[in-house]
């Protein structure tokens, strides 16, 4: 018989909505979001802290949610890609990605958007180098980086107007 | 990908973490930023039966300049170190903190966790070996301060006992006319470095090298302090010839493992190049020039 592992009660605010759950300690934040809360916008890519597809904000900071346990988000606030859209309207960042072809297959897009959201919230007018550094933890296997860069530049300019 | 099941314990204080570790024995591991431990657990390279989470312990995250001594709380995230006033004052700390992995990893990973894990390619280990640095640790018998030069034993092994918890990292502020730089070569941001070099210099009034700290990571089983290379520079004028001699001595101190990042010979040669570049950058900074330094992706 496997040993009994105590579940841990957690309360987490995700995209402004409060949730209470009892979770197994080894449950990863990304699986908590996708499987427990059905927020499947956050993608699982490499599973090894490399690709950034699973990037979400935890207490305002971008994190790879495949490398955080759900229990660690207890008493915290999470923002996922679903939190960008407001009242049925795409976030300007999403508009910019659409407008400038900042996505091809779309798999990396939720992570790219959340890394960009974090970048622009800490540095609203990033230069080219800062943008590249800001998304260095996100891999686009379509290698569509040039258009992602353009989309981020456009989003920053639009926000500045 | 899931780690093996484990019991989760949340410490409220450092002392509680110590008593949990004492009680649970060697099957327990501390969870700090988790950016190395969680991947190791998912890959089943580590399967602790218990995790003691430090992230809810208040007061472990800070950076301050305390009368010429910099103090970092062990749980200070790399991002917080990079943004700190002390990192602006000691540029090599900024090179390191702002260059580790990527934004997301820097937002979680901690300075204390990085040192305590003792990964052979730990950026912090190399950087802090070039400065007079110590770690303050708390164990069942109380607190002790360990000079960083005595801290690393082997790959992933330090002198810490299983029930000891790092509380603080202490670094002496370098004197005036000092400068340092840290350079790492990586294939991309999130991966481990192929080789890296940290150099910290202090110049004398006559522009000779008064003090030199040189260390490398990813080219041996632990970060390596190149004491012979340091001795080559000490008391000397920093000319292309002395810099070349120091780089030669630093290369001789490496013990690189061949792997998919490169052969031992390649890594050794790369170390020589990085040491030379880092000496030149450190020298410019010691002379008061503001130089931006970032890791090299190749």
| Residues A103-136 pLDDT 10s | 999 999 999 999 999 999 999 999 999 999 999 9
| Chain A residues with CB-CB distance to B108 below 8 A | 61, 63-64, 67-68
For B84-101, what is the mean pLDDT? 96
Query: Is residue B58 domain-resident?
Result: no
Range list for CATH 1.10.150.120 in chain A: 92-160
Range list for CATH 3.10.20.30 in chain A: 8-83
A60 has a pLDDT exceeding 70: yes
CATH number at residue B293: 3.30.390.50
B198 and B90, same domain (yes or no): no
> Closest partner residue to A118 among B35, B43, B103, by Cβ?
B103
For B8-15, what is the mean pLDDT? 98
For A28-33, what is the mean pLDDT? 98
Residues 6+ apart with CB under 8 A from A123: A130, A134
Tokens of A137: 């933890």
Do A24 and A7 form a contact (C-beta atoms < 8 A)?
Answer: yes
B166 and B188, same domain (yes or no): no
Q: What is the b/e burial string over A7-25, where b = at least 16 CB atoms within 10 angstroms of the residue's CB?
A: ebebebebbeeeeebebbb
Final residue of a domain: which of B172, B188, B220? B172
The predicted pLDDT at position B279 comes to: 98
The predicted pLDDT at position A1 comes to: 46
Query: Is residue B2 domain-resident?
Result: no
Do B30 and B114 form a contact (C-beta atoms < 8 A)?
Answer: no
Q: Shortest Cα distance from A85 to chain B (angstroms)?
A: 22
The predicted pLDDT at position B295 comes to: 82
Give the closest residue to B53 by CA, choosing from B67, B81, B32, B79: B32
Report the alpha-carbon distance of residue B118 to residue B114 in Å, rounded. 7
B191 and B290, same domain (yes or no): yes
B154 and B233, same domain (yes or no): no
Do B77 and B110 form a contact (C-beta atoms < 8 A)?
Answer: yes
Whether the predicted model's global pTM rises above the 0.90 cut: yes
B82 and B145, same domain (yes or no): yes
Q: Shortest Cα distance from B11 to chain A (angstroms)?
A: 12
Residue for token pair 């820097």: B106
B68 and B167, same domain (yes or no): yes
> Closest partner residue to B104 among A52, A69, A133, by Cβ?
A52
> CA A122 → CA A35, A85, A133, A153, B62, distances in Å?
30, 20, 13, 15, 20
B6·A26 Cβ contact <8 A: yes
Residues 6+ apart with CB under 8 A from A110: A41, A42, A43, A53, A55, A80, A81
| Chain A residues with CB-CB distance to B55 below 8 A | 72
B292 and B186, same domain (yes or no): yes
A137·B34 Cβ contact <8 A: no
CATH number at residue B38: 3.30.43.10
CA angle B38, B78, B213 (to 5 degrees): 115
The predicted pLDDT at position B269 comes to: 98
B7·A63 Cβ contact <8 A: no
Mean pLDDT of chain B: 97
Q: Which long-range contacts (CB under 8 A, 24 or more apart) does A22-25 make?
A: A23/A70, A23/A71, A24/B5, A25/A69, A25/A71, A25/B5, A25/B6, A25/B7, A25/B8, A25/B51
B298 has a pLDDT exceeding 80: no
Q: What is the b/e burial string over B35-60, where b = at least 16 CB atoms within 10 angstroms of the residue's CB?
A: bbbbbbbbeeebebbbbbbbbebeeb
A21 has a pLDDT exceeding 60: yes
B237 and B161, same domain (yes or no): no
B296 has a pLDDT exceeding 90: no
Report the alpha-carbon distance of residue B113 to residue B135 in Å, rounded. 12
Three-class SS of residue B113? helix
Q: Shortest Cα distance from A101 to chain B (angstroms)?
A: 24
**Residue B70 CA from chain centroid, whole number:** 15
Final residue of a domain: which of B123, B148, B172? B172
Q: A23: nearest CA in chain B?
A: B8
Query: Is residue B238 domain-resident?
Result: yes
Using one digit for the tens of pLDDT, what is the confidence trace for B254-287? 999 999 999 999 999 999 999 999 999 999 999 9
- CATH number of the domain located at residue range(s) A92-160 in this protein: 1.10.150.120
Q: Shortest Cα distance from A5 to chain B (angstroms)?
A: 6
A134 touches chain B (CB under 8 A): yes
Which of A136, A141, A145 to probe by mutation at the B interface, max B CB count within 10 Å? A136
Q: Which helix (H) or strand (E) holds B97?
A: helix B91-97
The predicted pLDDT at position A2 comes to: 58
> Closest partner residue to B107 among A8, A61, A136, by Cβ?
A61
Report the alpha-carbon distance of residue B197 to residue A157 in Å, rounded. 38
The predicted pLDDT at position B114 comes to: 98
A155 has a pLDDT exceeding 80: yes
Query: Is residue B111 domain-resident?
Result: yes
Do B222 and B125 form a contact (C-beta atoms < 8 A)?
Answer: yes
A64 touches chain B (CB under 8 A): yes
Query: Is residue B182 domain-resident?
Result: yes
B102·A52 Cβ contact <8 A: yes
For B143-168, what is the mean pLDDT? 97
Q: Across-strand partners of A10?
A: A21
B41 and B132, same domain (yes or no): no
CA torsion through residues B65, B67, B72, B78, sign? positive
Report the alpha-carbon distance of residue B257 to residue B264 in Å, rounded. 6
Report the alpha-carbon distance of residue B28 to residue B8 in Å, rounded. 10
Tokens of B159: 């002198």
Do B281 and B183 form a contact (C-beta atoms < 8 A)?
Answer: yes
> Closest partner residue to B1 among A47, A119, A133, by Cβ?
A47
Report the alpha-carbon distance of residue B172 to residue B180 in Å, rounded. 13
| Chain A residues with CB-CB distance to B79 below 8 A | 61
Which of A22, A53, A67, A127 to probe by mutation at the B interface, max B CB count within 10 Å? A67
Report the alpha-carbon distance of residue B224 to residue B220 in Å, rounded. 7
| Chain B residues with CB-CB distance to A64 below 8 A | 104-105, 108
| The CATH fold of domain A8-83 | Ubiquitin-like (UB roll) (3.10.20)
| Chain B residues with CB-CB distance to A50 below 8 A | 190-191
B210 and B233, same domain (yes or no): yes
Final residue of a domain: which of B122, B144, B172? B172
A76 touches chain B (CB under 8 A): no
Give the closest residue to B209 by CA, choosing from B231, B224, B240, B225: B231
Q: What is the b/e burial string over A101-113, where b = at least 16 CB atoms within 10 angstroms of the residue's CB?
A: ebbeeebbbbbbb
B34·A8 Cβ contact <8 A: no
Q: Which helix (H) or strand (E) holds B229?
A: helix B227-233
pLDDT above 90 covers a percentage of chain B that reads 97
B39·A67 Cβ contact <8 A: yes
Query: Is residue B228 domain-resident?
Result: yes
**Domain span at B154:** 63-172
Residues 6+ apart with CB under 8 A from B171: B69, B70, B72, B90, B93, B128, B131, B132, B133
Mean pLDDT of chain A: 96
Report the alpha-carbon distance of residue B82 to residue B88 in Å, rounded. 8
B104·A64 Cβ contact <8 A: yes
Report the alpha-carbon distance of residue B24 to residue B26 in Å, rounded. 7
Q: What's the domain count of chain B?
A: 3
B34·A25 Cβ contact <8 A: no
Tokens of A68: 């955080």
B133 and B187, same domain (yes or no): no
In the A/B pair of chains, how many CB contacts fall below 8 A?
A: 91
B101 and B37, same domain (yes or no): no
| Chain A residues with CB-CB distance to B39 below 8 A | 48-49, 67
């Amino acid at each position: 018989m496997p040993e009994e592992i105590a579940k841990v009660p957690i309360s987490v605010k995700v995209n402004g909505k409060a949730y209470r759950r009892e979770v197994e300690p080894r449950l990863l934040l990304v699986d908590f979001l996708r499987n427990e809360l059905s927020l499947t916008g956050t993608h699982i890519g490499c599973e090894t802290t490399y690709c950034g597809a699973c990037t979400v904000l935890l207490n305002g900071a971008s994190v790879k949610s495949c490398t955080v346990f759900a229990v660690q988000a207890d008493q915290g606030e999470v923002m996922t890609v679903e939190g960008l859209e407001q009242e049925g309207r795409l976030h300007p960042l999403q508009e910019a990605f659409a407008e400038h072809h900042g996505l091809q297959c779309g798999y990396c897009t939720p992570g790219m958007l959340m890394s960009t959201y974090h970048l622009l919230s800490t540095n609203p007018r990033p230069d080219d180098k800062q943008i590249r550094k800001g998304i260095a933890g996100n891999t686009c296997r379509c290698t569509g980086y040039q258009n992602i860069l353009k989309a981020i530049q456009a989003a920053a300019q639009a926000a500045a107007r | 990908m899931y780690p093996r099941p484990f019991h989760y314990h949340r410490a409220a204080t450092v002392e509680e973490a110590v008593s949990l570790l004492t009680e649970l024995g060697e099957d327990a591991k501390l969870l700090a930023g988790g950016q190395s431990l969680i991947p190791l657990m998912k890959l089943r390279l580590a399967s602790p039966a218990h995790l003691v989470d430090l992230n809810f312990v208040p007061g472990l995250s800070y950076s301050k300049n305390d009368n010429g001594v910099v103090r970092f709380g062990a749980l200070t995230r790399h991002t917080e170190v990079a943004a700190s006033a002390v990192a602006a004052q000691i540029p090599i700390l900024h090179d390191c903190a702002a260059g580790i992995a990527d934004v997301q990893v820097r937002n979680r990973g901690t300075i204390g966790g990085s040192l305590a894990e003792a990964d052979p390619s730990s950026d912090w280990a190399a950087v802090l070996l070039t400065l007079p640095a110590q770690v303050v640790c708390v164990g069942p018998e109380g607190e002790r301060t360990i000079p960083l030069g005595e801290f690393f034993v082997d790959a992933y092994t330090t002198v810490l006992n299983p029930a000891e918890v790092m509380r603080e990292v202490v670094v002496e502020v370098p004197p005036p006319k000092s400068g340092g730089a840290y350079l790492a070569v990586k294939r991309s941001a999130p991966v481990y470095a192929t080789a890296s070099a940290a150099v910290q210099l202090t110049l004398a009034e006559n522009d000779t090298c008064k003090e030199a700290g040189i260390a490398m990571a990813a080219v041996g089983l632990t970060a390596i302090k190149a004491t012979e290379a340091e001795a080559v520079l000490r008391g000397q004028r920093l000319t292309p010839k002395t810099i070349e001699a120091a780089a030669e001595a630093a290369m001789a101190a490496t013990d690189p493992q061949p792997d998919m990042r490169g052969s031992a010979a390649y890594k050794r040669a790369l170390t020589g190049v990085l040491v030379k570049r880092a000496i030149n950058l450190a020298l410019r900074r010691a002379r008061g020039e503001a130089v931006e330094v970032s890791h090299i992706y190749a």
